[in-house]
Amino acid sequence: MNLFRRPAPSLDDLIFEAPSDTSSSDSLMPSVARPPQVFVRGQGSWLWDSEDRAYLDFSQGNAANSLGHSPQVLIKALADQTKALINPGNGLHNRAQLNLAERLCHRTGSDQAYLLNSGAEAVEAAIKLARKWGQLHRGGAYRILSASAGCHGRSFAAMSASAGGPENRFEPQLPGFSHVPFNDLPALHAAVDAQTVAILLEPIQGEAGVIPATEHYLKGVERLCHELGILLILDEVQTGMGRCGTLLAEQQYGVRADIITLGKGLGGGVPLAALLARGKACCFDVGELDGTHHGNALMASAGLAVLDAVLEHGFMDHVGESGVYLGEGLARLAYRYDHGQLRGHGLMWGLTLSEDSAEAVVKAALHEGLILNAPQPNCLRFTPALTVSKSNIDEMLLRLARAFSRVRTAQLQCRKGIAV
Ligand SMILES: *Cc1c(COP(=O)(O)O)cnc(C)c1O
């Protein structure tokens, strides 16, 4: 590509070359913006496209592939379950579902678990559970308070609980939701009224750019819920399953929610989510929850394999140590390139850039063979496999440095082009 012959190259033109082999996406309904590459193979922290180019994956399907691409334990669990029984139907018991529900409860100190297909569905079920509880114990209270810039998924209730989001929110939204600033206890307290039944929060906001709740705040929220007799729902779809260095992020805060949602990392790359409930919050009756693939044996077997791996001796230590190593490397790079604040826990990190160049950096990184994600226009997110190695991290930092340089050079070219 010749940078100088084009009259007014856009930032995109300067940092991004389309690969030659691209399958058509004409028949695909528009949803998310995707680069043209088609990915055909994955192993651990690596992905390969149809031209056999290798990419280091530090997104891992937005933190879904907790054990990386195609880990042996997942291959074996899925193969064994496929041979034995894929789906007896949700009207019949299957062993994988029973085992996973029991083990999740045991390991998280919960009393009941329910398995579903996606994070949004788990949040949806959590909202139903809170409303049911409100009917039983709080005079029909139904309002849910959640945080500004929070993200809980794209189904209607989950979208209504999320602040902001896409331009078209398909109004009208579901009623009964209010948003208050995150990490602001007085604002939250002031927003609670007689109709309020629950507070729904991410312990660390993912889509907002990896913004952790402060310990003072989350403990305060727990106390507030206790004093006012309302429920605390923690959305751990992204932070749970070891992502932050403990099975649940609430453990890092010393907090105990009444209801918890899990998703993403639970399935290790297959669609699986869970709703967990404790004590008084366990109030669903037969017939109130249902879904064709809720508790699907094949997906539950994947969840069991992931849970086993994550609970293995030394696994969380690895997450903690790798997380520190990644954080230190990112801090050095941020300093060298004059970028902003770095936030993270375990293997979930967000870096604020000096300008709104996150999309350009993601594209430049792809060009350098690195897959990243930009939850905000000025923020990069790093959610590698929990099994990521130090050499993977070193290689990622090299490629990210090249991506930063590429964007910087392109920005200078662009400004020159405009000046001429
Ligand atoms: C991704 C996410 C969801 C939605 O999960 P889906 O599986 O995409 O429906 C909900 N809550 C949080 C915190 C998430 O990160």
**pLDDT for res 5:** 42
CA 192 distance to own-chain centroid: 28
The 10 Å Cβ neighbour count of residue 135 is 14
Q: How far is the CA of 239 from the centre of ligand 1 (A)?
A: 10
Our answer on whether the CB atom of 151 is closer than 6 Å to any ligand 1 atom is yes
* pLDDT tens for each residue of 231-255: 999 999 999 999 999 999 999 999 9
SS3 call for 82: helix
Please name the CATH architecture into which domain 72-310 falls: 3-Layer(aba) Sandwich (3.40)
Q: What SS3 state is found at 410? A: helix
**346-402 tens-digit pLDDT:** 999 999 999 999 999 999 999 999 999 999 999 999 999 999 999 999 999 999 999
| Range with the poorest average pLDDT among 66-75, 109-118, 130-139, 157-166 | 157-166
Atom of ligand 1 nearest to the CA of 119: 5
Q: What is the pLDDT of residue 16?
A: 54
Lowest model confidence (mean pLDDT) among 52-56, 167-171, 337-341 = 167-171
Residue 270 DSSP class? B
Cα-to-centroid distance, 357 and ligand 1 (Å): 24
Q: What is the pLDDT of residue 4?
A: 39
pLDDT at 14: 52
Q: How many C-beta neighbours within 10 Å does residue 18 have?
A: 9
The angle formed by the CA atoms of residues 231, 236 and 238, to the nearest 5 degrees, is: 155
CA–CA separation, 231 vs 290, rounded Å? Answer: 23
**One-character DSSP codes across 16-63:** ----S-----TTSPP-S---S--EEEEEBTEEEETT--EEEESSHHHH
* Statement: residue 21 has pLDDT above 70: no
Residue 290 has what pLDDT?
Answer: 96
Find the 155 Cα to ligand 1 centroid distance in Å: 10
pLDDT in tens, 202-220: 999 999 999 999 999 999 9
* 15 CA → ligand 1 middle, Å: 30
Distance CA 143, CA 147 (A): 13
| Ligand 1 touching residue 233 (CB < 6 A) | no
Q: In angstroms, what is the span from residue 110 Cα to ligand 1's centroid?
A: 21
Which among 202, 234, 238, 348 is the best mutation to test ligand 1's pocket, defined by most ligand atoms within 8 Å of the CB? 238
Residues 283-320: pLDDT tens digits? 999 999 999 999 999 999 999 999 999 999 999 999 99
For residue 235, report the distance from its CA to the centre of ligand 1, in Å.
8
**Closest Cα partner for 117 from 280, 273, 348, 298?**
273
What is the percent of the chain where pLDDT is above 90? Answer: 90
- The Å distance, Cα 332 to ligand 1 centre, comes to 30
Q: Whose CA is nearest to atom 6 of ligand 1?
A: 119
Query: Can you give the pLDDT at residue 19?
Result: 53
Backbone angles phi, psi at 122, to 5 degrees: -65, -40
Question: Is residue 235 within 6 Å of ligand 1 at its C-beta?
Answer: yes
Q: What tokens does 365 get? A: 């990184």
Task: For residue 158, report the distance from its CA to the centre of ligand 1, in Å.
Answer: 9
- The confidence score (pLDDT) of residue 247 equals 98
Report the pLDDT averaged over residues 101-129. 98
Ligand 1 mutation target, pool 144, 237, 299, most atoms within 8 A of CB:
237
State pLDDT tens for residues 266-280: 999 999 999 999 999
What residue ranges do the domains of the chain occupy? 11-70+314-416, 72-310
Contacts of 5 (CB under 8 A, 6+ apart): none
Spatial contact of 306 and 267, defined as CB atoms under 8 Å apart = yes
CATH architecture for the domain at 11-70+314-416: Alpha-Beta Complex (3.90)
* Fold agreement (11-70+314-416, 72-310): no
Mean pLDDT over the full length of the chain: 94
Nearest CA owner, ligand 1 atom 10:
152
Q: Report, as an integer, the average pLDDT of 92-113.
A: 98
> Which of 65, 144, 151, 383 has most ligand 1 atoms within 8 Å of its beta carbon, as the pocket-test mutant?
151
120 lines ligand 1 (CB under 6 A): yes
Helix-, strand-, coil-residue percentages of the chain, each rounded to 5? 40, 20, 40
Q: Identify the pLDDT of residue 156.
A: 95
| Sheet of 342-345, strands arranged across | 342-345, 348-352, 379-382, 373-376
Q: What pLDDT score was predicted for residue 24?
A: 85
Cα→Cα distances 51→35, 59, 88, Å: 14, 21, 40
Residue among 60, 123, 250 to mutate when testing ligand 1 (max atoms within 8 A of CB): 123
Is any atom of ligand 1 closer than 6 Å to the C-beta of 266? no
Nearest residue (CA) to ligand 1, atom 5: 119
CA dist list (Å): 156 to 38, 102, 323: 31, 30, 34
Rounded to an integer, what is the distance from CA 296 to the centroid of its chain? 22
Would the CB of 236 count as within 6 Å of ligand 1? no
Ligand 1 and 118: CB distance under 6 A? yes
Neighbours of 346 (CB within 10 A): 24
Tell me how far the alpha carbon of residue 19 lies from the centroid of ligand 1, in angstroms. 31
Instruction: Give the DSSP H or E segment for 390.
Output: helix 390-419
